[in-house]
Amino acid sequence: MLTDTEITQIVREEKTTTWQLTTQSANKIYSKNMILALGHLPSDKYLELKNETPTFYESPWKDLSSIQSDSSVAILGSGLTAIDTAKLLAAQHHVGKLFFISPSAQLPRIKGPATTSTYSFQYLTPSNLTTNLLTYDHVMQLFADEMSRATGTSLSVDDLLKIVKSGEGKDAHTLLSEEVKLVDSGQVRQWQVALSATFYNVLPILTQQLGEEDQKKFRSIFFPLYLKWIAGMTLGNAKEIVSMMDSGQLTVLSGPKCILADEKGGIYHLTTHDDQTLSVSTIINATGTGHSIHQNALLSQMEKDGYLSAHPLGGIAIASDSLVISPSHGEQTHCWALGPTTFGSNPLVYATETSAMDAAKIAAHVLKDLTHVESNTPVLTK
């Protein structure tokens, strides 16, 4: 295993049908088979602020230690990445004010207690989902009907979207404080059991059945909100976040409507959706994973050289059954991809379990080649 090694270029030697990988220190690695498991693509939001000043962090996965502990920090986003960012700052004893700023001003829900409860679908059933005429509107109606059944409350599609968007009309602090008490008491929530069951039972069918335009609509309107409800935070994290909010250190705001950098530098002025203005010395983009392969230099190079292409819904295009890149060339490319960079083909790739299943599929293909052990062995040369 080569750690601290970044691959900066990948080319294919057509004569030997071997992949040649170049590391940042110009070492070469040769391998017949290659699997791209490059993880999350960088956020494609707030690119205009990139390189603006040294106090704008395009991602929280940088060294944050130079942020002054008493400075005010705007954290763009209010999802799991924003929560991790607040925890990172707390771990380095940050005492200054923190602001989560996102359009919804909502935090993810809290993961419920482990339960043996199961849920049988009445509306989101395979037979209802495999109709040839499946549309975004039809799917949303099935979700609304199923959630009405699970919660015992009659919900229209608008009601459902309103709830997932606005967190039942309560502000983030109130909702999270109430939810911590509920989850701490061990209460199992039926909406959570039902929604969790949709992840592996419903999403794979939708990915197959919805046409491209309806799929785009589903992924851009409902899916990000759905993820906030289904991919919840842990109770431990929720308690930490509530205590930061109780002390007044952390506030969740809706926005930003606009961000202006002070000409003298070092200060940003942000306007929220309800026209509050806020001055902070640091901004961290914590909006999570992006979808454009053009934000990744290696994937951009591979696309330019014709080894792979972008999926219209984001990430790398792969064959959904074999997971090979550049599906038009088939398996002879000997290159597969899995994990978050394959989001376009499969929205389930954000869960590590999906990567495990996809890795097993790829391993089966690679094993077919094991008779050529010699040519399969990766070689490292200077």
Candidates 255, 339, 344, 347; binder of ligand FAD (CB under 6 A) is 339
Nearer Cβ to ligand FAD (38/197)? 38
Decide: is 38 part of the binding site for ligand FAD (CB under 6 A).
yes
46: left (phi over 0), alpha (psi -120 to 50) or beta: left
What span, in angstroms and rounded, lies between the C-alpha atoms of 267 and 55?
Answer: 9
The residue count for binding ligand FAD (CB under 6 A) is 17
3-state secondary structure of 318: strand
Candidates 203, 351, 359, 366; binder of ligand FAD (CB under 6 A) is 351
Sheet with 379-381, edge to edge strand ranges: 7-13, 18-23, 28-31, 379-381
- 310: tokens are 């972008």
Candidates 81, 198, 287, 342; binder of ligand FAD (CB under 6 A) is 81
**Terminal-residue alpha carbon distance, the chain:** 16
What span, in angstroms and rounded, lies between the C-alpha atoms of 252 and 279?
Answer: 15
Rounded to the nearest angstrom, the gap between the alpha carbon of residue 136 and the centroid of all alpha carbons in its chain is: 21
Return the sign of the alpha-carbon dihedral for residues 350, 356, 361, 364.
positive
- 360: tokens are 């097993």
Minimum CB separation from ligand FAD for residue 39, in Å?
2
Task: Tell me the HSE value of 25 on the side-chain side, using a 13 A CA sphere.
Answer: 7
Could you say which residues in the range 94-113 bind ligand FAD, by CB under 6 A?
none
Segment contacting ligand FAD (CB under 6 A): 26-34, 80-88, 251-259, 329-337? 80-88
Binding string, residues 182-211; x marks residues near ligand FAD by CB under 6 A: ------------------------------
Decide: is 80 part of the binding site for ligand FAD (CB under 6 A).
yes
Minimum CB separation from ligand FAD for residue 223, in Å?
15
Minimum CB separation from ligand FAD for residue 269, in Å?
28
Which residues contact ligand FAD by CB under 6 A? 6-7, 37-40, 80-81, 84, 288, 298, 339-340, 350-352, 355
